[in-house]
A and B are shown apart, each in its own frame.
Chain A
Amino acid sequence: MPVDIRIPSILRVHVEGKSIVEMKGNTVGEVLQDLVNTHPGMDGQIVTSDGVLHKFVNVYLNDDDIRYLQVLDTPVSEGDTITILPAVAGGACSSTVDGYRAADILPVVRAEK
């Protein structure tokens, strides 16, 4: 079934500059695969080669983060909107915080939210 996907500006180069594209599928994963099939430049941008959602990308089905639903297996309905947003993080810390690399800490902080 057709579902709109909102594309963040950083990835629009892969979809001919469009901010919204319509793709088909019964789950979020199927819709994202249709996006990759139609726009090969999206391959690896959202889902890793291992089939896992990239840790620095947040994907919403309407208002809900799919990590709190069924992730890529989350079913979709006609008229739904999938929104892809990059994770935004940083800070004044140096490359390590209390012995850990901050780049490793940031996604953990997000996951624990």
Chain B
Amino acid sequence: MIKIPGNIYTQIIACCIQGLPDEACGLLGGADNEVTIFYPARNSAKSARLYVLDPKDYLKADRDAESRGITILGVVHSHTHTEPYPSPIDIEQAPDPAWHYVIVGLGKPLPSLRSYSISAGTAVEETVQVSIGAIADIID
């Protein structure tokens, strides 16, 4: 399971929409499967079908996470025209079995977000728990 505060959930969706027509990407920072910060990153591939997370943005995020005493928990990317299910390339390229792989699907009128663990060539969907309290903070 991955826990995402409502305000960060909103940031992720907004980033993916702003990234259109290309796929968007970013990193999740936090601890104990709970996201506390989202790091938007550039898609070096500048493609609607591929993403390559800018290594320099990864370096910046990694350092910022270290300064906050947290770690990089996973990666987010969008699928601009399809559902949020891992593609063969997503599974093949997954760098870390301990990470959470969040995919935002923009293929329907409303964005949808799903998260997976990917290990040994297999993707398993996991529960996404969005903190209502954090959403309330935004509304307030």
- Interface size range on B against A: 35 or more
Task: Annotate A87-100 by CB proximity to B: 1 below 8 A, 0 otherwise.
Answer: 11111111101000
User: In the complex, are the beta carbons of B45 and A109 less than 8 A apart?
Assistant: yes
Contact of B23 among A92, A94, A113 (CB under 8 A): A92
Neighbouring A residues of B93 by C-beta, 8 Å: 87-90, 103, 106
What is the number of contacts between chain A and chain B, taking CB atoms within 8 Å? Answer: 110
Neighbouring B residues of A94 by C-beta, 8 Å: 87-89
- Interface size range on A against B: 20 to 34
User: In the complex, are the beta carbons of B55 and A87 less than 8 A apart?
Assistant: yes
Residues of chain A from 45 to 95 with CB closer than 8 A to chain B in the complex: 56, 58, 60, 63, 65, 83, 85-95
User: In the complex, are the beta carbons of B80 and A92 less than 8 A apart?
Assistant: yes
Interchain residue pairs with CB less than 8 A apart (15): A9-B72, A9-B98, A10-B95, A83-B62, A85-B58, A85-B59, A88-B52, A89-B53, A90-B87, A91-B77, A91-B90, A102-B50, A103-B89, A106-B45, A109-B45
A interface vs B, CB < 8 Å?
Answer: 6, 8-10, 19, 56, 58, 60, 63, 65, 83, 85-95, 97, 102-103, 105-106, 109-110, 113
B interface vs A, CB < 8 Å?
Answer: 23, 25, 27, 44-45, 47, 49-56, 58-59, 62, 66, 71-72, 75, 77, 79-82, 86-90, 92-98
